[in-house]
Structure 1
Amino acid sequence: MIDPSVIEPLADDAWPARERERLGGWRLNASSGFSMRINACWPLSAPDRDVEAAIDVVEAWYAARGLPPRFKLTDGVLAPTDLADRLTARGYHASKDTLLMVGVTGGEGDLSVAISAAPDATFEGVFTASAGDPEDGRERTEALGRMPPPALFAKLEIDGAPAAIGVAALGGGFAGIFGMRTVPAHRRKGLARRILRAVLAEARQAGAERAWLQVEADNAAAIALYADEGFEPAYRYRYWTR
C-alpha cells in the first residue's frame, strides 16, 4: 500500500494552520481551535529533544494560545513507538478514529462540474455552512486561503445555485481530496460521486496519478462511496486529548 510518511506531510501541507512550528519531526499546528487537523501536534518522526520534554513544550505551546493540547497519532508512524503510552500516563485518550484511503486519478469526469484554481464566494458559502459555528466557518475559510497552489476547487450547481463542492490539493504526485460537501436539500442524489469523479479526472490532467482522502471511520456511507470509486484503506489515525 502506501507509507504514512509519504502522505502525512502532504496532508499537513495541504490544509495549513495559521501558526506552524516544529520540534524536529513533530509539527505543531494552531488556528482557532475548531478543525482538529490544524489544531494538533503531528508527530511524524522523532522530536529534537527528549520525548517527555517535547510533550512539555507542546503542552506549553498550546496553553500559550488558549488551546487544549492535542496530538494526532498515525498508525505506522514511529515517533516514538511508546508515545501513546506516554500520553495515556498524562491523562490523554484517543478519539475520532479516522481512515486514510488511497486510489488512482483519471476517468471521464463530469462536464457539469465547474473546476477553478481558487474558491469563489458561493463555494465558500457551502463550505462554511457545514461548520455550524461562525468562528468555525471563519477558521475553515481562512485555511482555504492558505492552501498552496496548485489546487482544484470543484462546484456543481443545480438551478443556478451551488449544490455540491469538493477540493483537491495537488502535491508530490498525489491529489488530496477533502472539503466534500453537499447542500442538505440535494443529498442522496449522487452529487458527491460526480464531484469526486470530476476532481479525479482533472487531477490526472494536472499530472497527479494517485489520490488520498480522509474519512471518519464511522462514516459508513462515505467509506462505501469511496470504496466503490476504487479507494482502499491505507492506515488510520486518531486524536489524543486530555
Structure 2
Amino acid sequence: MEISAAGRLEVRITPADVGKRVSVRSLIEHPVPVEKFTDTVGVLTSWDNGVLLITRRGGERVRIAESALVAGKVVPAAPARRRGPSASYEELARVAARAWPPVESERLGHWELRAASGFTRRANSVLPLGEPDLPLDEALDAVRRWYGARGLPAYVQTATGAEGTQELLGAALEERGWVREVTAELWVGPLAPVADVAGPEEPPEVVLSREAGEDWLARYRRKGVGEAALRVLHGGPSVWFATVPGPSGPAAIGRCVVDGRWAGFAAVEVDPALRRRGLGTAVMAALARRALDEGASAAWLQVETDNAAARALYAGTGFTAHHAYHHYREPDSTGGPAGDETS
C-alpha cells in the first residue's frame, strides 16, 4: 500500500488508471465494531458510479465501493515466473490458434472469426488480438450475424492474467449480457523435462503417427467425429498422434503440434481402467522427444480448471499456469459447441 511521508495510507489511483494493474486496500463489513481490511490485486477493469471493478489473475471480479477505499496504487505487471519459458500472451494465443485451426475464418480488424461446424468453442469463437475495425457494439452485431449465417451461436474468447485489454473486453461483454461459460488455463513449461520424466518401470510401446487412425479415434473422448473435426485435429504446422496399444483398444492417446520453438500437447487420454500407471506420462514423453528432434524447446497445453487429475500430471512434469481464458456466449442463445477441447 502507498504510505505518505506522514505515515498515512493514501489512495493514489483514479478512474484514469482503468486498464492498469493496481493494489488496493478496502474496508469490509464486520459483525463487531472493529475495522477490518482486505487487499485486492488485479487489473482495474472499470470505475463507474462510485464502484471499482478489479479483475484478479484467475478471472475473479471483485467490486469495491469507492467509499470503502483505504489505500491504493498502480503496481508493475506480475513478475516473471521462475520456471518455464518466457512468452507474451499474444505469442501463445497465436501459437494455440495455429495448433487448433478452424475450417474457415474471417478478419474483423484485429479480431479473427473462426468456425468449424461447432466442433469445440476454440475453433468456433472470435479470437480478439487487438481492436476490431468497427465500434464495439457494431463489431459484436457483425459477429452475431457471421455466426448466425452458419447456424452457430456467437462466442468470444478472452483472457485474464494477460497483458493488454483482455480483461476490459470481458467486462464489456458482461455489461452487454454475454455469458461466460468456460474457464480454462494455458500452462507452459520447458520441453526437455517432459521428454525425460520417469514413466512406468516397464515403459509401454508408444506408436507415433501423422494421422489420427481409427484406433486413436476410438479412445478420443469425442464420439462421432466428423469431417470438420478431423480437419481441426489434423491442422497445424507439424502434427503428431501417439497411441499406446492395449488388449481391447488403445490404452492411451495424445496429440502434439510442433510450431517453431513450441510444442503443444492436447487430447492426452487414458483408458479409465488403466489410469495411475504412468501411461499418460509415457505418451507425453514420446511426443516430447519427437518435438525435441524437430527443434522445439518449450511446451504448452490447455487444461480446464476442474480437471484435477490432469493438472496434477502437468504440474509434475514442470508446467505452470501462464494465463486463464474464457468463452463468452452471445445473449439469448442456447446450445452450441459441446465443450472446450483441452488436454
**TM-score past 0.5 threshold:** yes
1:166 equivalent in alignment to 2:254: yes
Q: CA deviation at 1:34?
A: 3.7
Pick one of 313, 324, 327 that aligns with 1:225.
313
2: CA distance between counterparts of 1:100 and 1:218?
Answer: 13
Q: Which residue of 2 aligns with 1:116?
A: 209
Percent identical among aligned pairs is: 34
Q: Distance in 1 between matches of 2:135 and 2:163?
A: 18
Q: Which residue of 2 aligns with 1:74?
A: 159
Between the aligned partners of 2:97 and 2:154, the Cα distance in structure 1 is 17
Say whether the 8 Å CA contact 2:111–2:131 is kept in structure 1.
Answer: yes
Report which structure shows greater RCO (CA 8 Å, sep ≥6).
1
Aligned residue number for residue 52 of structure 1: 137
Indicate conservation of the 8 Å contact 1:42/1:73, yes or no: yes
Aligned ranges 1:74-223 → 2 under 5 Å? 74-75=159-160, 76=162, 78-79=164-165, 82-106=168-192, 107-108=195-196, 112-127=205-220, 130-132=221-223, 134=224, 137-138=225-226, 139-145=228-234, 147-159=235-247, 161-223=249-311
Contact 2:157 2:325 in 1 (8 A): yes
- Alpha-carbon separation, structure 1, partners of 2:147 and 2:328: 14
More off after superposition, 162-171 vs 71-80: 71-80
CA RMSD of aligned residues (A): 1.9
Larger Rg, first or second structure (1 or 2): 2
Structure 2 partner of 1:11: 96
TM-score (norm 1): 0.90
Q: TM-score, normalized by length of structure 2?
A: 0.64
CA distance 1:81–1:102, change in 2 (3 Å): closer
User: Structure 2, unaligned stretches of length 5 or more?
Assistant: 1-85, 198-202, 332-343
Cα offsets for 1:132-179 (capped at 9, x unmatched):
5x3xx224333223x134122111112373111111111131001111
Aligned residues of 1:100 and 1:235 also touching (Cα < 8 A): yes
Aligned length: 236
How far off its partner does 1:81 sit? 5.3
Native 8 Å contact 2:206 2:283 kept in 1: yes
How far has the Cα of 1:11 moved from its partner? 0.8
The structural deviation recorded for 1:95 is 2.4
Give ranges in structure 1 of 5+ residues lacking alignment.
Answer: none
What amino acid does structure 2 have at the position aligned with 1:113? V
